[in-house]
């Protein structure tokens, strides 16, 4: 098979005189060109060329979709004729005729973008049926019940998917008729009932002032248009935005001869992965239903059986399917997600594509496949996305919890999350916008729910299997999900669900454990995951490929320990003001900030010194000789001052209390308190700033109040001497914040050196240290060559640099930045993803200018962007030495740094190999 597939792809270009080719038969296409044929189409072409059992079909290309949009939503010239022509080829192959009332050919119509997208149009099955062809189908198969069943499915699918009629309306009809049968299942419906269902379905569509065309060709034309339209539907656009898929890729349309899984007990349909998509275990993992069509499995209307059961029910088919899937995995060198149908004992393959997987599965599969020599280690590292790794670092429910689960469903997507129960996606979105944590609880989800799923912390459904919509979408997003929690009796009208008599109403908290399928009432404690050996193995490989060093932003000994545990190679930013969060410490910090005069300040600083020294010792011990960059105090005042409104409130309460006081002692005490509060208010008002983020912070504080810098440096050097006394190694870097003038740094450095000499003299010791600076203001970046004269290193503070480059406040811009992203004024929130064009240009320029005077200047980044994969790639590209990010993001940064370097090498290799096309391929390959 491999050889057959690996034949050189056929030329897909056209000679100039030939009309443009919009339509390809499966055997004409190839598996390489996902951007033209879509992912599904490419897989079908590949399987067809390899001689696997695939029902014949055609693909309308993504180019046709794009031309449709360029052409005012009209099919491009010649496209429809090519569809009809290709359909004739399919007719010849299967010996049936499309629209023929005696021997009708039926087709399925599916969307198929280059990336599988849950927001896209689903499958329409059995297209080509009408009142006449359904008779033909009954005669052709000798099974009237089957023919009518196919027709009622087609009517509801066409109504729902092509004409956009609400799914529930069709479901209600089905439920009503099923309830009248003995067994209560769809397979118990007899021809009479099926005819009535079809009539009812048509009536529903008519009530919405639409109709299913009688002419099968017209059905096909409308369905292809609907697939194209779904590309620009809200769900698809939302999905692309979240997954960073460009809007101009377009979708292909697959039209394929039907095979039927609902022709009795030796027929069926299912989906299976070549490895377990939740855990990564090497096993055939999936579900199937006998006597069913595709949507029965995914919609969760019947509970499917595990694929292993097929081994007993249809052993030969199972064997063949298992062999084919193994072959496909070997060929694609990746885990495959395969769809199949069995028609009267014959296996048909309907899809193969790279399977979506959880973070844990992704790591395990990558490591296992490299160990099985199916892929090399570079590929293994590139296979795991930073987002997947991030997922792996999600919390789980504390196993020691004694709380009983309210209900248990399927462990559809791992992680533990909690939130207030909501029942509608719109509510989920609204409440999340208000800053609430919500869990979306639905009977089952559909693509219509996507925006609510995005907004929710977790998703719970009462129906649906492991491959249901909710499960697949949640896994893709790395969102906790429990599906098929059938004990939940959900009442949308009453905004509540009940489980065994216990009623849970909208707004109550629940905790969802997507790893075990449990749903708990209330907030149950969660813990961070233990990372397995696969994770460590993969990280080891990634570390070999990266060039950037990864450090952590860690402010306390505990942070430092966590960071080391995640593999941080140093601390790139210790925000010393963060050491004073916490009630007692905050009081000492406030006293220092509010001190009136040097004397009072020095007194307050005396209290801070031992606290800082103790913390520095703890951090040095944890870091065991790895570099530690300690930044001098940079307290934006509003983070540390009492709130004026609160103070006023407290003052008026004290005054009330004074009026009601009965004893002289009480009055005295209250008057003292009032006096104290008044003084505090007076001080706060005196130093309050209109925009504290651009105020008296950073080195400005240390320059005007040198006693602050003195105290900090004393604490640092005393701690370093203590470590030396304990024979511990310390690699010390002292960093000056918010510098915009080289003289600011020069003066602070002189002070640091002076205190260093003093403390070293007192201890009779020498401590090696370096003094460097943050570059976080545009002026600093522009004058970096001057600043570099006094600096041993630069660390780009891209949080402040973004704020000051854009002229946006870090505190308030959340009010309008999301709208900017929504309206595509900005591609991303620049506080999350580095704006390479503007802020990044200042970083590049600052680094270049700094190195123009000191070629070996050590340069890193410590803004939030240091943990963002895209931003890390940019840091790699411009030759920075390190990135620094919060401890939990360190593994992601290590992996992203490896990806960045591997991608840069692939790009360089492709450039050497020549040709722009190759560059695109090399870059694109890692994204597909
Ligand atoms: C920065 O500005 O990027 C930075 C790291 O400093 P802070 O966030 O503490 O202002
Ligand atoms: Mg800053």
Mean pLDDT, rounded, for 616-624: 98
Ligand 1 atom, smallest distance to 795 CA: 5
DSSP state of 161: I
Å from CA of 703 to ligand 2 middle = 17
Residue 52 main-chain phi, psi, to 5 deg: -80, 160
Q: How crowded is residue 182: how many other Cβ atoms within 10 Å of its Cβ?
A: 6
CA distance readout (Å), 79 to 44, 61, 121, 224, 254: 21, 10, 20, 11, 14
pLDDT of residue 715: 97
Q: Which of 439, 426, 424, 502 is nearest to 474 (CA)?
A: 439
Q: What is the pLDDT of residue 769?
A: 98
The pLDDT of residue 725: 97
Which ligand lies nearest the alpha carbon of 796?
A: 1
How far is 438 from 755, CA to CA, in rounded Å?
52
Q: Whose CA is nearest to atom 1 of ligand 1?
A: 797
Which residues, at least 6 apart from 369, have a Cβ–Cβ distance to it below 8 Å? 333, 334, 375, 380, 383
Quote the DSSP letter at residue 461: E
Q: Quote the ligand 2 centre to 625 CA distance (angstroms).
A: 26
540-553 pLDDT per residue, tens:
999 999 999 999 99
Distance CA 928, CA 923 (A): 9
Rounded to whole angstroms, the Cα distance separating 775 from 745 reads 11
Tokens of 41: 């189409």
The alpha carbon of 158 and the centre of ligand 2 are apart by a number of angstroms equal to: 56
- Please, how many CA atoms are within 13 Å of residue 212, restricted to the half-sphere of its CB? 31
Q: Which ligand is nearest the CA of 839, by number?
A: 1
Residue 80, by phi and psi: left (phi above 0), alpha (psi -120 to 50) or beta?
alpha
pLDDT (tens digit per residue) in 234-263: 888 888 877 778 888 999 999 999 999 988
829: Cβ contacts below 8 Å, ≥ 6 apart: 817, 818, 821
Pocket test for ligand 1, best of 633, 638, 640, 774 (most atoms within 8 A of CB): 774
Question: Which whole number is the average pLDDT over 641-650?
Answer: 83
797 C-alpha to center of ligand 2: Å?
Answer: 5
Confidence of residue 149 (pLDDT cuts 50, 70, 90): very high
User: How far, in Å, is the centroid of ligand 2 from the Cα of 798?
Assistant: 7
What are the tokens at 912? 């050497």
Query: Is 235 within 8 Å of 119 (Cβ atoms)?
Result: yes
Asked if residue 394 has pLDDT above 90, the reply is no
Q: In whole angstroms, what separates CA 148 from the centre of its chain?
A: 43
- Whether 328 shows a pLDDT value over 80: the answer reads yes
Sorting pLDDT into bands at 50, 70 and 90, what band is 641?
A: confident
Tell me, in angstroms, the distance from the centre of ligand 2 to residue 689's CA: 17
Using 50, 70 and 90 to split pLDDT, how confident is the model at 10? very low
For the cut 70, the answer to whether the pLDDT of residue 751 exceeds it is yes
Highest mean pLDDT among 112-121, 406-415, 634-643, 657-666: 657-666
What is the Cα–Cα distance from 826 to 817, expressed in whole angstroms? Answer: 8
What is the spatial distance between Cα 545 and Cα 561, in angstroms, rounded to a whole number? 25
864 CA: nearest ligand 1 atom: 3
The reply to whether the predicted model has a pTM over 0.85 is no
The residue contributing the CA closest to ligand 1 atom 3 is 797
Is residue 383 within a helix (H) or strand (E), and if so which, with residue range?
helix 377-383
Q: What is the pLDDT of residue 584?
A: 67
Predicted local distance difference test score (pLDDT) of residue 466: 62
Confidence of residue 227 (pLDDT cuts 50, 70, 90): very high
| 170-225 tens-digit pLDDT | 989 998 999 898 888 877 889 999 999 999 999 999 998 999 999 999 999 999 99
Q: Which ligand is nearest to the CA of 553?
A: 1
Atom of ligand 1 minimally distant from the CA of 862: 5
- Specify the DSSP class assigned to residue 831: T
How far is residue 904 CA from its own chain's centroid?
Answer: 23
Q: Distance, CA 203 to ligand 1 centroid (Å)?
A: 63
CA of 621 to the centre of ligand 1 (A): 25
Which ligand is nearest to the Cα of residue 801, counting in written order? 1
* Best of 863, 875, 880, 883 for a ligand 1 pocket test (most atoms within 8 Å of beta carbon): 863
- Nearest ligand 1 atom to alpha carbon 737: 6
Protein residue closest via CA to atom 9 of ligand 1: 575
CA of 623 to the centre of ligand 1 (A): 22
Helices 598-623, 583-594: crossing angle, 10 deg rounding = 140
40 with 254: CB under 8 angstroms?
Answer: yes
Burial, 916: exposed, middle or buried (Cβ in 10 Å; 0-12, 13-18, 19+)? exposed
C-alpha angle 238/110/313, rounded to 5°?
Answer: 115
* Residue 684 or residue 670, greater confidence: 670
Per the CB < 8 A criterion, the answer to whether 708 and 605 are in contact is yes
d(CA 243, CA 450): 13
* The predicted structure's pLDDT at residue 925: 34
Q: Give the strand pairing for 549-553 and 882-885.
A: parallel
Q: CA of 919: how far to CAs of 114, 247, 911, 913, 915, in Å?
A: 19, 21, 6, 9, 7
The number of C-alpha atoms within 13 Å of 700 and in the hemisphere containing its C-beta is 12
What's the pLDDT tens digit per position in 878-926?
Answer: 999 999 998 878 999 999 999 999 999 999 888 887 654 443 343 333 3
Nearest CA to ligand 1 atom 6: 797
For ligand 1, mutation pick of 553, 555, 575 (most atoms within 8 Å of CB) = 575
Q: The tokens 């811009």 sit on which residue?
A: 813
What are the pLDDT digits (tens) for 59-117? 999 999 999 999 999 999 999 999 999 999 999 999 999 999 999 999 999 999 988 77
Give the E-state strand segments of 784-897 in sequence order: 793-796, 858-861, 882-885
CA distance 589 to 612: 11
Q: Could you list which residues have their CB under 5 Å from ion ligand 2?
A: 776, 797, 800
Q: State the residue for tokens 């099955």.
A: 125
Instruction: Say what the pLDDT of residue 64 is.
Output: 97
Q: Taking the chain, what is the end-to-end CA distance rounded to the nearest angstrom?
A: 23
Average pLDDT, the chain: 90
Q: In this structure, are strands 407-408 and 396-397 parallel, antiparallel, or unpaired? A: unpaired
Region class of 649: left (phi > 0), else alpha (psi between -120 and 50), else beta: alpha
Bridge-based pairing of strands 480-483 and 410-413 is antiparallel
Please list the alpha-helical segments (H only) found in 878-915. 890-913
Poorest-pLDDT segment among 152-161, 525-534, 734-743, 839-848: 525-534
| pLDDT above 80: residue 147 | yes
Atom of ligand 1 nearest to the CA of 553: 5
Tell me, in angstroms, the distance from the centre of ligand 2 to residue 738's CA: 6
| Higher pLDDT, residue 389 or 776 | 776
pLDDT, tens digit, 9 for 90 and up, residues 578-603:
887 665 677 888 888 888 889 999 99
Kindly state the helix (H) or strand (E) to which residue 630 belongs, with its residue range.
strand 627-631
Mutational test site, ligand 1, from 631, 640, 738, 776, max ligand atoms within 8 Å of CB: 776
**856, 532 Cβ separation under 8 angstroms:** no
Helices 869-877 and 890-913 pack at an angle, to 10 degrees, of: 50
Catalytic residues, which ones?
469, 862
Which ligand is located closest to the Cα atom of residue 831? 1
Instruction: Give me ligand 2 centre to Cα 649, in Å.
Output: 32
Cα 746 → chain centroid = 44
Asked whether the beta carbons of 302 and 183 are under 8 A apart, the reply is: no
CA nearest neighbour of 772 among 801, 799, 797: 797
Q: pLDDT value at position 395?
A: 77
Q: What are phi and psi of 861, to 5 degrees?
A: -135, 140
List the residue whose alpha carbon is closest to atom 10 of ligand 1.
800
Q: Which ligand is nearest to the CA of 739?
A: 2
Q: How far is CA 425 from the centre of its chain?
A: 18
- Percent of the chain residues topping a pLDDT of 90: 68
Who lines ligand 1 at CB under 6 A? 573, 575, 634, 776, 797-800, 862-863
Q: Which of 571, 574, 634 to mutate to test the pocket of ligand 1 (most atoms within 8 A of CB)?
A: 634
866 Cα–ligand 1 center, Å:
11
- For residue 246, the model assigns a pLDDT of 86
Q: How far is 277 from 275, CA to CA, in rounded Å?
A: 6
SS3 701: helix
Find the mean pLDDT for residues 397-422.
87
pLDDT for the residue 647: 85
Identify the residue whose C-alpha is closest to ligand 1 atom 4: 797
Best residue for ligand 1 mutational test, from 695, 701, 862 (most atoms within 8 Å of Cβ)? 862
Q: Which ligand does the CA of 866 lie closest to?
A: 1
Q: What is the pLDDT of residue 917?
A: 45
Provide mean pLDDT across the span 633-644. 79
Alpha helices in 479-556 (DSSP H): 533-545
Partners of 794 in the β-ladder = 773, 859
The 8-class DSSP code of residue 684 comes to: H
Largest interatomic CA distance in the chain: 107
The H or E element spanning position 652 is helix 644-660
Q: Which residues of 346-381 are buried (b: 16+ CB within 10 A; e: fewer)?
A: ebbbbbbbbbbbbbbbbbbbbbbbbeeebbebbbbb
Buried-exposed string 405-444: b where 16+ CB fall within 10 A, e elsewhere: bbbbbbbbbbbbbbbbbbbbbebbbebbeeebbbbbbbbb
């Amino acid at each position: 098979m491999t050889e057959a597939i690996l034949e050189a792809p056929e030329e897909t270009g056209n000679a100039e005189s030939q009309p443009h080719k919009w339509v390809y038969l499966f055997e004409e296409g190839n598996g390489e060109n996902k951007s033209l044929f879509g992912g599904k189409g490419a897989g079908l072409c590949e399987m067809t060329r390899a001689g696997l059992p695939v029902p014949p079909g055609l693909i309308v290309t993504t180019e046709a979709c794009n031309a449709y949009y360029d052409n005012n939503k009209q099919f491009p010239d010649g496209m429809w004729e090519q569809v009809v022509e290709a359909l004739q080829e399919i007719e010849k192959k299967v010996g049936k005729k499309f629209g023929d009332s005696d021997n009708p050919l039926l087709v399925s119509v599916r969307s198929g973008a280059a990336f599988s997208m849950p927001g896209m149009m689903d499958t329409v099955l059995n297209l080509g049926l009408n009142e006449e062809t359904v008779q033909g189908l009954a005669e052709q198969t000798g099974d009237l019940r089957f023919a009518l069943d196919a027709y009622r499915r087609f009517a509801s699918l066409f109504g729902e998917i092509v004409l956009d009629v609400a799914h529930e309306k069709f479901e209600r009809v089905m439920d009503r008729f099923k309830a009248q049968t003995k067994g209560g299942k769809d397979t118990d419906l007899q021809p009479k009932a099926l005819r009535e269902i079809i009539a009812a379905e048509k009536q529903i569509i008519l009530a919405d002032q639409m109709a299913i065309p009688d002419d099968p060709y017209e059905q096909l034309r409308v369905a292809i248009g609907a697939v194209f339209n779904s590309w620009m539907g809200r769900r698809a656009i939302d999905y692309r935005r979240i997954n960073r898929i460009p809007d101009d890729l377009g979708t292909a349309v697959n039209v394929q001869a039907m095979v039927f899984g609902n022709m009795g007990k030796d027929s069926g349909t299912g989906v299976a992965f070549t490895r377990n998509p939740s855990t990564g275990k090497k096993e055939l993992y999936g579900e199937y239903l006998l006597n069913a069509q595709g949507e029965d499995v995914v919609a969760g209307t019947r509970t499917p059986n595990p694929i292993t059961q097929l081994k007993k029910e249809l052993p030969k088919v199972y064997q063949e399917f298992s062999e084919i899937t193994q072959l496909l995995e070997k060929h694609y060198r990746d885990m495959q997600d395969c769809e199949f149908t069995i028609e009267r004992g014959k296996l048909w393959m309907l899809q193969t594509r790279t399977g979506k997987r959880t973070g844990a599965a992704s790591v395990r599969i990558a490591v296992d496949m490299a160990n099985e020599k199916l892929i090399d280690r570079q590929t293994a590292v590139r296979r795991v996305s930073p987002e997947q790794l991030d997922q792996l670092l999600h919390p789980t429910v504390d196993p020691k919890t004694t709380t009983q689960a309210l209900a248990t469903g399927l462990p559809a997507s791992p992680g533990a999350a909690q939130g207030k129960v909501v029942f509608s996606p719109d509510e989920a979105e609204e409440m999340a916008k208000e800053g609430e944590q919500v869990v979306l609880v639905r009977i089952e989800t559909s693509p219509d729910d996507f925006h609510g799923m995005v907004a929710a912390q977790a998703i719970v459904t009462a129906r649906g299997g492991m491959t249901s919509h909710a499960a697949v979408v949640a896994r893709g997003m790395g969102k906790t999900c429990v599906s098929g929690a059938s004990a939940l009796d959900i009442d949308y009208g009453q905004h509540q669900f009940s489980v065994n008599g216990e009623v849970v109403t909208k707004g109550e908290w629940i905790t969802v454990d997507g790893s075990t399928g449990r749903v708990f009432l209330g907030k149950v404690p969660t813990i961070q995951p233990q990372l397995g050996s696969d994770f460590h193995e993969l990280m080891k490989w990634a570390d070999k490929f990266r060039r950037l060093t990864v450090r952590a932003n860690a402010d306390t000994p505990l942070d430092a320990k966590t960071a080391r545990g995640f593999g941080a190679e140093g601390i790139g930013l210790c925000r010393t003001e963060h050491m004073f969060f916490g009630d007692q410490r905050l009081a000492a910090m406030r006293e220092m900030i509010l001190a009136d005069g040097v004397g009072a300040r020095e007194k307050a600083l005396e209290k801070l010194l031992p606290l800082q020294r103790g913390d520095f010792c703890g951090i040095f011990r944890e870091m065991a000789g790895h570099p530690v960059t300690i930044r001098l105090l940079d307290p934006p005042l509003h983070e540390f001052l009492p709130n004026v409104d609160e103070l006023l409130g407290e003052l008026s309460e004290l005054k009330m209390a004074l009026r009601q006081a009965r004893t002289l002692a009480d009055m005295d005490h209250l008057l003292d308190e009032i006096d104290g509060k008044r003084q505090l208010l007076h001080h706060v008002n005196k130093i309050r700033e209109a925009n504290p983020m651009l105020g008296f912070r950073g080195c400005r504080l240390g320059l005007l109040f040198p006693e602050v810098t003195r105290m900090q440096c004393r604490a640092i050097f005393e701690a370093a001497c203590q470590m030396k006394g304990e024979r511990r190694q310390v690699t010390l870097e002292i960093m000056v914040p918010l510098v915009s003038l080289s003289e600011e740094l020069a003066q602070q450095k002189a002070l640091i050196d002076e205190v260093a000499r003093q403390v070293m003299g007192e201890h009779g010791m020498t401590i090696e240290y370096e003094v460097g600076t943050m570059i976080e203001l545009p002026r600093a970046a522009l004058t970096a060559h001057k600043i570099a004269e006094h600096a041993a290193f630069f660390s780009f503070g891209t949080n402040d640099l973004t704020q000051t480059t854009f002229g946006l406040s870090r505190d308030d811009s959340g009010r309008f930045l999301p709208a900017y992203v929504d309206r595509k004024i900005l591609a991303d929130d620049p506080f999350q993803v580095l704006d390479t064009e503007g802020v990044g240009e200042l970083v590049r320029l600052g680094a270049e200018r700094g190195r123009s005077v000191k070629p070996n200047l050590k340069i890193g980044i410590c803004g939030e962007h240091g943990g963002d994969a895209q931003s890390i790639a940019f840091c790699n590209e411009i030759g920075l030495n390190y990135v620094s990010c919060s401890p939990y993001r360190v593994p992601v940064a290590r992996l992203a740094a490896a990806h960045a370097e591997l991608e840069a090498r692939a790009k360089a290799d492709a450039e050497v190999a020549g040709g722009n096309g190759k560059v695109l391929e090399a870059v694109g390959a890692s994204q597909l």
